[in-house]
């Protein structure tokens, strides 16, 4: 605590670089709140429609493969663990372990997406997609269930991809020693983001797959 923190990211040419990790963490949390409320709006819609179309939702959910859902849940939980471990490793200056953990996380993310891909293409091939032939035969509740299902899991999938990009950049940073055991707030932030993606799935999973 020896210096005045001028800006979290002090970039004026004349000034020297200052770092305020507390500020960047705060900013990250605020950003997570916006993500949370973005999904929050969708969850609110889900809640409202589930309330209105309880039966349609149940019928529709019976189509879902809860096994794939469960596997994906485990995958994401494990990837959250590996991100946390990689931060722990950086703190202990175990660069190799940190890198390995991040690569493993990326792999998990990829696995998740591949699963999702198969799941979606299965539904789509059955004609279940907005405007699809099977969906047109279904009740309003089912239509809305699948509408929400595609939007919410799609948006979540998008977040997985963004998170993976973040983590890939972190890998590069660690390799270039930009992230070190005394300067790893960036990794923390990427980790926070990844955990958020996990948390959202923790709710998506029971809501869409476990509704029999």
Nearest distance in Å: CB 147, other proteins: 3
Residue 9 to residue 178: CA distance in whole angstroms: 15
* Shorter beta-carbon distance to other proteins: residue 27 or 113: 27
* Shorter beta-carbon distance to other proteins: residue 2 or 96: 2
Three-state secondary structure call for residue 9: strand
* Shorter beta-carbon distance to other proteins: residue 62 or 114: 62
Contacts of 193 (CB under 8 A, 6+ apart): 28, 32, 162, 163, 166
Q: How far out from the chain centre does Cα 138 lie?
A: 31
Nearest distance in Å: CB 167, other proteins: 14
* Shorter beta-carbon distance to other proteins: residue 37 or 114: 37
Instruction: Decide: residue 41, CB within 10 A, 0-12 exposed, 13-18 middle, 19+ buried.
Output: exposed
Contacts of 95 (CB under 8 A, 6+ apart): 89, 174
Nearest distance in Å: CB 68, other proteins: 12
Instruction: Decide: residue 105, CB within 10 A, 0-12 exposed, 13-18 middle, 19+ buried.
Output: buried
Residue 111 to residue 102: CA distance in whole angstroms: 14
* Shorter beta-carbon distance to other proteins: residue 66 or 103: 66
Nearest distance in Å: CB 98, other proteins: 12
Nearest distance in Å: CB 122, other proteins: 19
Nearest distance in Å: CB 51, other proteins: 6
* Shorter beta-carbon distance to other proteins: residue 13 or 177: 13
């Amino acid at each position: 605590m020896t210096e005045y923190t001028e800006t979290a990211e002090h970039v004026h040419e004349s000034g020297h670089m200052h770092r305020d990790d507390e500020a960047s963490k705060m900013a990250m949390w605020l950003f997570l709140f916006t993500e949370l409320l973005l999904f929050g709006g969708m969850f609110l819609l889900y809640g409202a429609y589930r309330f209105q179309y309880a039966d349609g939702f149940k019928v529709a959910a019976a189509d879902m493969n809860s096994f794939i859902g469960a596997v994906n849940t485990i995958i994401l939980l494990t990837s959250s663990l590996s991100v946390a471990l990689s931060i722990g490793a950086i703190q202990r200056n175990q660069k190799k372990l940190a890198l390995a953990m991040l690569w493993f996380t990326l792999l998990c993310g990829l696995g998740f997406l591949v699963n999702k891909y198969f799941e979606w293409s299965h539904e789509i091939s059955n004609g279940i997609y907005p405007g699809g032939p099977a969906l047109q035969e279904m009740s309003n509740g089912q239509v809305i269930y699948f509408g929400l299902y595609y939007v919410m899991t799609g948006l979540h999938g998008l977040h997985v991809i963004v998170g993976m990009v973040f983590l890939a950049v972190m890998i590069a940073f660690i390799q270039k020693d930009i992230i070190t055991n005394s300067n790893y707030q960036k990794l923390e932030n990427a980790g926070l983001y990844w955990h958020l993606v996990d948390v959202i799935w923790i709710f998506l999973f029971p809501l869409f797959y476990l509704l029999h």
